[in-house]
Structures are given as structure tokens and as C-alpha cells.
Amino acid sequence: APAPPPARHLFSDPAEVEALRGNLLAWYHRCKRDLPWRALAATEPDADRRGYAVWVSEIMLQQTQVATVINYYNRWMQKWPTLQALAQASLEEVNELWAGLGYYSRGKRLQEAARKVVSELAGRMPRTAEDLQKLLPGVGRYTAGAIASISYGQATGVVDGNVIRVLCRLRCIGADSSSPAVIEQLWDMANALVDRSRPGDFNQALMELGATVCVPKAPLCGECPVKQHCQAWCRKLFGNTPKVPDVEDCGVGDCPLCPPATEPWDSNLGVTNFPRKAAKKPPRAMRTATCVLERRGCHGAPEYLIVQRPSSGLLAGLWEFPSLPLAQDLQEEREREELADHLQVWTGRPVAAKGLRFIGEVIHIFSHIHQTYVVYSLPLDGDMTLDPALSPSRWVTEDEFHASAVSTAMKKVWRA
């Protein structure tokens, strides 16, 4: 078994733990933001509905800002206020409501999991973090802990990006915070720290602190309710005086939680010395040619062809203008020719590369892909029969385009 981490990185003094919990909870009570899912979790008497409300919010909040989520959350809960209602929705409806929120597989998995709860668990949400993680597709360790503690009062911790930052600063943890060993240590710490009588409030308070006070770049340490328990703050104020924990002083050998010896404390960074992460891989560059095919609809209004993406992979099941991934460094002429060949599949007749009008390039950054859309347009004369043997496709007006399940990237293409 690995050696236990040095005590200075842990919360080993019960009196300090009690004081930290009390200060944090009192601050949360005074300062927390009013958010719709918090109101629902606090007032909903039905445990399954409470669990569902928290679950939806947690899935939406993954990788997405609170301000963006609020509107989507309210519309979702209005449309599908219960698990049962969501289980009866179609994937198309789910994708339409999710359009613009990003990471589209989240909505699909949420709906699949709702169907599973209804059909296999008699509509009853699992009540513990362990069962939630085991039984619900798309529910990981963090989401399971959040649902169980906030909805059902289970005394279990949570570790998300905000908690990682706060804990690493509180205990001067400078080893790579994305490494499995450090993450495991942070889970142990979160489970030990969580308040036994108000676990949901405590977990939300820790995350709220990370989101509003202990922020990544310019934390508001002067206003922080737990600054007297924060080793990074002490270190910034007092440097290496004997009264202050010295993180390089963890004992003999390599401390598994200290910064590497090659990256010592940088006094210019202050508390933002923590957390530290190994450098991220740069996003992969991709180029995709896309074409807005336009025709006159039966009422004279312009219509545009959209086609559905495959049901797995990036932007699964969403609609887009006919698109074709391109090899890097292709000459423009060759790009046009390849796109023209591809469009022929949809139009059912030859498309002249010269007839494609170049509109511009649109850049969209996905989490791991730096995508450049090379945008063309092509007006079509006469009617065109869509081949049902191909991927689903349809002609839409401008309003219908915006109401369809299209990604933010395609909306940018539209604006171009």
C-alpha cells in the first residue's frame, strides 16, 4: 500500500475541521447565489423529483457556465418536470432543447438513464452515491456524490474542478492535480471533510467558494470565510517563517503531494501556485468544408438543406449543412472539387465546383478539436428529390433551422 501522505496536507485536527465546516456553512447561508435547482432541491418534498432536479442540473453544469445553464434548465424542467415525462420524450426533442449547450451526448444519456429508471427501477431513483454511479448511465463519481448528498442527505464528498482548486490551496497540494493518485487523495479529503448533518449544503458551499471566491486567477482571499485554515494564504502572507507550514518541509524523500522540486513556490503567483496540472495536449486541428444549399420553397421563401449526423461520435444526431472533413493543406481548388463531388450525393446531379460560392472560414473550438469550417453556398434551380436511402435530410426555412437540433458551430456558419 502507498505510504500515507504527510500530515501537513491533511485535515488532521478535529477542532480545525469543525471550525472550517462552521465558517463555510455560515458563509454559504449568507452569500449563496439563488439558482433554480437549489430552490427545487430545498423545497421539493418528493425524493425522486428532488433527485431528478439535481441530476438534470449537474449534467447541464458539466463543462458549462451557470449563467448559460439557467435558461436551459428552466425550459427543461418546464417541459419534462419528472423522470417519467423525460422517459417519454423523443431524442429529437431532447436534442432540440439541448441545441447550443454543447457536449450533446449529455442530453441523450440523461434521457436514456431516465428511461432505465422508469422501466427497470420502477421509477425510483437510486438513493446512494454507489448505486447512482452503478445503475445510471452517464452518472460518474462526482455527479453521484452531488445527487446523493444534495437530494438524499448522504454524507459523501464531491470533487469537481472547483473543489480541486480549493482543497489544493487549503493544503498546499502542488503535485499534478490531474494525476489519479492526487485525485484519489482529494476524494479521501472531501469525504473526511464533508459535514455529517448538512452534507448537501457543505458540498455546495465548497463548490460555491471555488466558483465565486477561490477563483482560478484572482482569488478574493481577503473575503474568504476559510482563510484562517488556508495554508496557501498563510504562505503568501508569512513566507517561510517558523510559525507557517513550509510545504517543502514534508519529511524525507519525495512528498507525493508537494510541488515537484523543479517547480518550487513562486512568490509572484501567491496562492495561485496551487493547483498545478501537467501541460494539456493542444487541441487537434480539423478542416471541414460545408455548403449551404438553397432553393425556393413552395411559398417562394428560401429553404436550406440540412442533414443529420451519425448517432454516435462528435455532435451525434445533430443536424448540419452538408459537410465534408478535409485533409490538411489541401489547395482551395481541390477542396472545392471534393466538396462538389460530395454534394452530388445529396443533389443527385453533377455539381460544378466553380458554381460554389466561397463565403469565408468559421472557427469553432470544441474541447479537443480546433475546427475550421470552410463555408460555401450554392443556390439550386428547380426541385430536388431527397434520397431516403441516405442519412436523414430535410429542407428548412430560416426559422425552422433555428428551431432544429443544430450545434452552436452550425449557427456560426449560418451567421457567416
> Which sequence positions are flagged as catalytic?
58
Separation between Cα atoms, residue 308 and residue 315, nearest integer Å: 10
Nearer to ligand SF4 (CB atom), residue 169 or residue 287: 169
Query: What's the closest the beta carbon of residue 225 comes to ligand SF4, in angstroms?
Result: 8
Q: Of 139, 136, 82, whose CA–CA distance to 113 is shortest?
A: 136
163 near ligand SF4, judged by CB under 6 A: no
* 169 near ligand SF4, rule: CB under 6 A: yes
The nearer residue to ligand SF4, 9 or 106, going by C-beta atoms, is: 9
Counting contacts by CB under 6 A, is residue 221 touching ligand SF4?
yes
Q: Site map for ligand SF4, 367-386, x if CB under 6 A?
A: --------------------
Q: What would the grid cell of residue 70 be?
A: 439557467
The cell for 197 is 448533518
Residue among 214, 291, 378, 409 that touches ligand SF4 (CB under 6 A): 214
Complex with ligand SF4: residue 219 or 322, whichever CB lies closer: 219
| Site membership for ligand SF4, residue 232 (CB under 6 A) | yes
Cβ(343)–Cβ(289) below 8 Å: no
Phi, psi of 348 (to 5 degrees): 75, 10
170 binds ligand SF4 (CB under 6 A): yes
Whether 174 and 164 have beta carbons less than 8 Å apart is answered as no
Instruction: Determine, following the binding rule CB under 6 A, whether residue 230 of this chain makes contact with ligand SF4.
Output: yes
Between 23 and 84, name the residue whose CB sits nearer to ligand SF4.
23
CA dist 358 to 148, 320, 353, Å? 53, 18, 11
Minimum distance, C-beta of residue 66 to ligand SF4, in the bound complex (Å):
19
Among the listed residues 94, 136, 166, 405, the single contact to ligand SF4 using CB under 6 A = 166
Q: How far apart are CA 187 and CA 163, in angstroms?
A: 10
In angstroms, the Cα distances linking 364 to 58, 329, 377 are 25, 18, 19
**110 contributes a contact to ligand SF4 by CB under 6 A:** no
Go through the chain and tell me how many residues it has.
416
Cell triple for 362: 468559421
Query: What's the grid cell of residue 411?
Result: 449557427
Binding range to ligand SF4, per CB under 6 A, among 139-147, 166-174, 189-197, 287-295: 166-174
**Residue 126 or residue 270: which is nearer to ligand SF4 going by CB?**
270
Q: Are 270 and 264 in contact (CB under 8 A)?
A: no
Does residue 213 interact with ligand SF4 by CB under 6 A?
Answer: yes
Contact flag: residue 27 with ligand SF4 (CB under 6 A): no
Nearer to ligand SF4, 38 or 165 (CB): 165
Least distance from ligand SF4 to the Cβ atom of residue 230, Å: 3
Residue 193 lies near ligand SF4 (rule: CB under 6 A): no
Pairing mode, strands 369-379 and 284-296: parallel
Q: Using the rule CB under 6 A, which residue among 224, 324, 375, 406 binds ligand SF4?
A: 224
Do 54 and 36 contact (CB within 8 A), yes or no?
Answer: no
How many Å separate Cα 22 from the centre of its chain?
A: 30
CB of 235 to ligand SF4, least distance (A): 10
What is the distance between the alpha carbons of residues 404 and 105, in angstroms, rounded to a whole number?
16
Binding site for ligand SF4 (CB under 6 A): 166, 169-170, 213-214, 219, 221, 224, 226-227, 230, 232-233, 271
